[in-house]
Amino acid sequence: MDRSSLLQLIQEQALAGVVPPPQLQQLDPDNTGFIGAETFTGLVHSHELPLDPAKLDMLVALAQSNERGQVCYQELVDLISSKRSSSFKKAIANGQRALPQDGLLDEPGLGVYKRFVRYVAYEILPREVDRHWYFYRHRSCPPPVFMASVTLAQIIVFLCYGARLNKWVLQTYHPEYMKSPLIYHPGHRARAWRFLTYMFMHVGLEQLGFNALLQLMIGVPLEMVHGLLRISLLYLAGVLAGSLTVSITDMRAPVVGGSGGVYALCSAHLANVVMNWAGMRCPYKLLRMVLALVCMSSEVGRAVWLRFSPPLPASGPQPSFMAHLAGAVVGVSMGLTILRSYEERLRDQCGWWVVLLAYGTFLLFAIFWNIFAYDLLGTHVPPPP
């Protein structure tokens, strides 16, 4: 950014009330675009900047991290405007931090909800600076409505079909179950909504319980930290990749259940924990990691068993297990990129565009596959119910 545009930005931020105009001359009296670290640190400690404690701590750390004793004014504007850039986070990480040594675990006198927010911060975020930032900036409104709404809708749909069919376990073996307009069936590939709506249907109470538990235990905290847009994008990307993968690799099988989205969330979270193992402060993380992997592997094994060795007579192929694996791949690729970009703009990261390009390429390939491959390969698709 050149000097004229930087000065214009300073004036705009001042007019917007981000930094009071009298303090601009103290911060940058020569209009250079940089702030002296000593003057800046003194100004921060005098509390002339109306900031919350987390921002004050990070501003001091930013001032002390620059070897030339200067702070770029743009970083100050970004921080005060709650727009954390990659360069700001690198400056904090590479410098001599002035953050408090005591963590959020030592915060006294917290209410029930604030203790839950603190718990979420330690469950999801690997760095203390991020945990402080999230803890002090978190607001209860808007609440994490996406994961709660999806789970509630899945429960309602399951109860409706359970009461209608008078069957609560292995519902897919009921002849009327596959007639649902929500299920993905290879004979109904032209009905594009089914590639997403199958997530509201489940094999039975056992699959619904497993998915709902993980959506609430992992999905809700992730949505609280990373926001509705990012987590809903990750979940729906896993769901869509699940049905499209089944249409390519298991061409005769239907799909039910939200496992594609669930495995995208869980795989992203587990991969983020592994890559930031030393920084994660969640208790019993090794034991919980092992239990999560065992449970997820068991659910995949159960889906494989139902697909190839159905315990009851069935009129056609049973739902495929490939959606689980596709969701896990989406989680490790797209999901990990999202979770490692807390409070950073995804569009500014090269890795994000690489992931989007790969996912878009897969979507185009899957669309052409569904249009042409079934006829070219002469695949016998069971007639839809």
CA dihedral 319, 320, 321, 325 (to 10 degrees): -130
Contact 158, 202 (CB under 8 A): yes
Residues 6+ apart with CB under 8 A from 54: 132, 133, 135, 136, 137
Q: Which of 259, 320, 333, 341 is catalytic?
A: 259
Is 259 marked active-site? yes
Contact 43, 37 (CB under 8 A): no
Nearest in space to 341 (alpha carbons), one of 276, 263, 262: 276
Q: Which of 132, 202, 226, 324 is catalytic?
A: 324
Contact 234, 330 (CB under 8 A): yes
CA angle 234, 235, 240 (to 5 degrees): 100
What residues does 36 pair with on adjacent strands? Answer: 70
Beta strands in the chain (DSSP E): 34-36, 70-72
Is 324 marked active-site? yes
Contact 190, 184 (CB under 8 A): no
User: Any idea which residues carry the catalytic annotation?
Assistant: 259, 324
